[in-house]
């Protein structure tokens, strides 16, 4: 019984879920999905999430895919009162967090656009063609982070934790982070502040970065 999370460690959306669970001290059973064996396309998995993506969460009768739906549910259902500021109840403050979460999905989609063709299709050209979208989103993130210390204001929210899973992958993937100094400073600050960083995110980010860099090397890219 309890909460089950179907996931893989390198995936940024899965790491967003690990980070938020750690932040609020929520226990769950981790069910690693073997994507190479097609475990995300079995009838049982597709019943939980027809989009065949990880992460998926089950909690009693509820099965839900998409990291944003999962982390906001976790906050709404399980966050203790003293941690509500991670996903504020005030509509205006929450709107800001939600906006950053939607932006994070956009940034993830652009990252997928460089990783998927390279790692799974061995298509360097397509990956490189998609790179400007990543740069554009990272520049937008830089702009947000010139306006506030954290992504949605002056304190940590789940928008930071979701974005952290993506930006740490940009760093481990070897992209030139010096182009976005506020993002670099924010990343260093979160790594230092979150005692659960390494366990929930660091190890998986290294795995993702290695997959990207190895494929790039294999295909002769830079």
CA distance 163 to 71: 12
DSSP code at position 198: I
Nearer to ligand GSH, 160 or 222 (CB): 160
Q: Does 137 engage in binding with ligand GSH (CB under 6 A)?
A: no
What's the per-residue H, E or C state across 44-111?
HHHHHCCCCCCCEEEECCEEEECHHHHHHHHHHHHCCHHHHHHCCCCHHHHHHHHHHHHHHHHHHHHH
Q: Does 55 engage in binding with ligand GSH (CB under 6 A)?
A: yes
Q: Does 54 engage in binding with ligand GSH (CB under 6 A)?
A: yes
Options 62-70, 123-131, 181-189, 209-217: segment touching ligand GSH (CB under 6 A): 62-70
Q: Does 40 engage in binding with ligand GSH (CB under 6 A)?
A: yes
Nearer to ligand GSH, 55 or 117 (CB): 55
CA distance 128 to 109: 15
Closest CA to 100 of 146, 160, 147: 160
CB of 176 to ligand GSH, least distance (A): 23
CB of 69 to ligand GSH, least distance (A): 8
Sheet harboring 29-32: ordered strands across?
Answer: 29-32, 3-7, 56-59, 62-65
Options 65-73, 77-85, 153-161, 172-180: segment touching ligand GSH (CB under 6 A): 65-73
Q: Does 165 engage in binding with ligand GSH (CB under 6 A)?
A: no
- Is residue 165 among the annotated active site residues? no
Q: Does 66 engage in binding with ligand GSH (CB under 6 A)?
A: yes
CA distance 145 to 140: 9
Binding stretches for ligand GSH (CB under 6 A):
11, 13, 40, 52-55, 66-68, 105
Which residues does the annotation mark as catalytic?
11
């Amino acid at each position: 019984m309890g909460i089950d999370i179907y996931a893989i460690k390198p995936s940024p959306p899965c790491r967003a879920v690990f980070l938020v669970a750690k932040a609020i001290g929520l226990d769950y059973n981790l069910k690693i999905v073997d994507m190479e064996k097609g475990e995300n396309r079995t009838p049982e998995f597709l019943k939980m999430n027809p989009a065949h993506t990880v992460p998926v969460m089950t909690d009693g009768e509820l099965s839900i895919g998409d990291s944003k739906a999962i982390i906001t549910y976790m906050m709404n259902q399980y966050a203790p009162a003293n941690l509500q500021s991670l996903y504020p109840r005030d509509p205006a403050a929450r709107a800001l967090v939600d906006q950053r979460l939607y932006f994070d999905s956009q940034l993830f989609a652009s990252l997928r656009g460089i990783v998927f063709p390279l790692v799974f299709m061995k298509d360097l050209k397509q990956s490189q063609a998609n790179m400007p979208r990543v740069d554009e989103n990272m520049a937008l993130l830089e702009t947000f982070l010139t306006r506030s210390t954290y992504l949605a204001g002056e304190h940590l929210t789940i928008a930071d934790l979701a974005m952290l899973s993506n930006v740490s992958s940009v760093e481990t993937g070897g992209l030139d982070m010096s182009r976005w100094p506020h993002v670099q400073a924010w990343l260093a600050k979160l790594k230092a502040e979150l005692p659960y960083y390494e366990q929930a995110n660091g190890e998986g980010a290294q795995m993702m970065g290695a997959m990207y860099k190895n494929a790039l090397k294999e295909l002769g890219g830079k």
